Amino acid sequence: MDKDTLDGRKIAILATDGFEQSELLQPRKLLDEAGARTVVVSPGDKQQIKGWNHGEWGEPVAVDLHLGDARAADYDALVLPGGVINPDKLRLHDDAIDFVRDFGRSGRPVAAICHGPWTLINAGLAKGRHLTSWPSLRIDLENAGAHWEDREVIVDGNLITSRKPDDIPAFTRALIHMLEERQAQAA
Alpha-carbon distances, residue 9 vs 39, 76, 84 (angstroms): 11, 6, 28
Fill in the DSSP letter of residue 165.
G
93 flagged as catalytic:
no
The one-letter amino acid at 125:
L
Residue 178 neighbours by CB under 8 Å, 6+ apart: 77, 109, 155, 158, 160
114 in catalytic set? yes
Task: Please state, in angstroms and as integers, the Cα–Cα distance from residue 110 to each residue in 50, 54, 57, 82, 172, following that order.
Answer: 22, 25, 26, 13, 11
Catalytic-labelled residue, pool 54, 66, 93, 115: 115
The active-site residue, picked from 66, 114, 130, 147, is 114
Q: Element (H or E) spanning 87, and its range?
A: helix 85-90
Strand-pair category, 153-156 with 159-162: antiparallel
Q: Catalytic residue positions?
A: 114-115
